Amino acid sequence: MENLSQFCTCRDLKCPFHPTNHSKGCSLCIAKNLKEGEIPSCFFNKVGNASEMESFYYEDFAKLVLKNKKED
């Protein structure tokens, strides 16, 4: 797991863009997410549980942030 960033919280080790599956760090994941209009799961994990998410669009991230803010 030498390619894993110190802050990476992604649990999808089967994803071809996961940093452990290539030598380009987070770049491939971020590029893929930008192209798809999504946010990487590590951002979701920071504010909630990404495994509960059905999709990773900007709107979904905003909803998760607001939901967790209300629970604080």
**Residue 41 domain-assigned?**
yes
pLDDT confidence tier of residue 2, bands split at 50, 70 and 90: low
**Residue 40 domain-assigned?**
yes
Question: In which domain, by residue range, is 28 found?
Answer: 19-71
**Residue 34 domain-assigned?**
yes
**pTM of the predicted model, to two decimals?**
0.77
pLDDT tens-place string over residues 22-50? 999 899 999 999 999 999 998 998 888 88
SS3 59: helix
**Residue 1 domain-assigned?**
no
pLDDT number for residue 72: 57
**Residue 28 domain-assigned?**
yes
**Residue 50 domain-assigned?**
yes
pLDDT number for residue 9: 84
Q: How far apart are CA 18 and CA 41, in angstroms?
A: 11
**Residue 44 domain-assigned?**
yes
**Residue 25 domain-assigned?**
yes
pLDDT tens-place string over residues 12-22? 899 999 999 99
Token representation of residue 23: 């030598």
Number of domains the chain is built from: 1
Quick one: DSSP state of residue 38? B
Token representation of residue 15: 């994803």
